[in-house]
């Protein structure tokens, strides 16, 4: 049997995409809308306390297009914590007007090969650079791009039948493209084999949305993507600070 890749795993991640039921929201009285938004603000404030203790992360982006209106991106040490936050959110009054349209579950991962290279022989989990990748601080970038992807398992283009050395070489070349966008694009790779319908969920952050087009285009011409990559839907959006929610939901 071909050698399976080993990974280091960090925080569990939930991308929770919602659409606003605008017709129903317009029917809500102004004082009730204020109460609902205040409750939601307190909920987000509670999550920020966890973030300040370094025990998780979260952010909200509005989504451009008709696939969704928002994505609530949450990272926590355990699946139980993600589930608890999701359940608390669903019990809020505002959840009656934010309809679930898509979700994605993964765990932030780093290949064991790359992690050991970064750690230089040290315990990778104790290396600050490795930990920064596994337990990331979400950047306050203007734009987000999320997409799920697989590696092909078709005929001659079967990623999982390649020898480990060949896979490592292809990934190393692929990684060079990503590193060339340092300072322009920050990415989080979520492993989702056995957790969701695709094998990875990729989240990109940038202050210039055109950088998403540039990096994905360049990577499509790389052999590891050109031969072996299959992509799901792309979701692109804009950072939504909490203080903007009142004006966004205002009538």
3-state secondary structure 15-73: EEEEEECHHHHHCCCHHHHHHHHHHHHHHHHHHHHHHHCCCCEEEEEEECCCCCCEEEE
Q: Is 3 exposed, middle or buried (0-12, 13-18, 19+ CB in 10 A)?
A: exposed
CA angle, 46 then 50 then 51, to 5°: 110
Neighbours of 126 (CB within 10 A): 9
pTM score: 0.93
Strand partners, 200: 149, 191
Question: What is the model's pLDDT at position 22?
Answer: 96
Q: Determine the pLDDT at residue 118.
A: 66
Domain chopping of the chain, boundaries: 7-249
187, 204 Cβ separation under 8 angstroms = yes
CA angle 18, 11, 204 (to 5 degrees): 55
Please tell me which residue in 61, 97, 104, 147 is annotated as part of the active site: 147
Tokens representing 172 are 């190393």
Distances from the Cα of 154 to the Cαs of 1, 150, 192, 224, 229, in angstroms?
17, 12, 20, 14, 11
Mean pLDDT by 10 residues, the chain (251 residues): 80 98 96 95 92 92 97 98 97 97 96 64 80 93 97 88 86 86 95 97 98 95 91 97 86 68
Comparing CA positions, the residue from 84, 76, 80 lying closest to residue 50 is 76
Q: Say if strands 200-206 and 157-158 run parallel, antiparallel, or are unpaired.
A: unpaired
What pLDDT, on a 0 to 100 scale, did the predictor assign at position 6?
Answer: 81
Fold category of 7-249 in CATH: Alpha-Beta Plaits (3.30.70)
Backbone phi and psi for residue 146, each to the nearest 5 degrees, phi listed first: -125, 140
147 is a catalytic site residue: yes
Alpha-carbon torsion 46, 51, 52, 54, what sign?
Answer: positive
Query: Of 63, 64, 80, 128, nearest to 72 (Cα)?
Result: 63
What is the structure's pLDDT at 218? Answer: 94
Give the pLDDT of residue 250.
Answer: 81
């Amino acid at each position: 049997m071909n050698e399976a890749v080993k990974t280091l795993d960090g925080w569990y991640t939930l991308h929770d995409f919602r659409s606003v039921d605008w017709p129903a929201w317009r029917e809500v009285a102004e004082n009730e809308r204020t109460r609902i938004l205040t409750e939601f603000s307190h909920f987000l404030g509670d999550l920020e306390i966890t973030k300040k203790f370094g025990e998780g992360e979260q952010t909200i982006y509005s989504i451009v297009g008709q696939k969704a209106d928002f994505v609530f991106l949450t990272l926590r040490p355990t699946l139980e914590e993600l589930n608890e936050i999701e359940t608390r959110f669903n019990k809020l009054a505002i959840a009656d007007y934010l309809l679930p349209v898509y979700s994605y579950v993964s765990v932030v991962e780093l290949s064991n090969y790359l992690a050991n290279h970064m750690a230089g022989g040290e315990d990778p989990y104790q290396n600050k650079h490795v930990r920064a990748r596994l337990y990331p601080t979400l950047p306050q970038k203007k734009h987000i791009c999320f997409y799920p992807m697989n590696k092909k398992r078709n005929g001659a283009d079967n990623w999982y039948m390649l020898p480990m050395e060949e896979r490592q070489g292809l990934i190393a070349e692929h990684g060079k493209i990503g590193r060339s966008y340092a300072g322009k694009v920050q990415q989080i790779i979520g492993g989702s084999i056995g957790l969701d319908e695709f094998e990875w969920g990729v989240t990109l952050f940038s202050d210039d949305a055109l950088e998403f087009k540039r990096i994905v285009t360049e990577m499509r011409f790389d052999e590891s993507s050109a031969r072996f990559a299959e992509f799901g839907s792309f979701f692109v959006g804009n950072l939504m600070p909490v203080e903007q929610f009142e004006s966004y939901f205002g009538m």
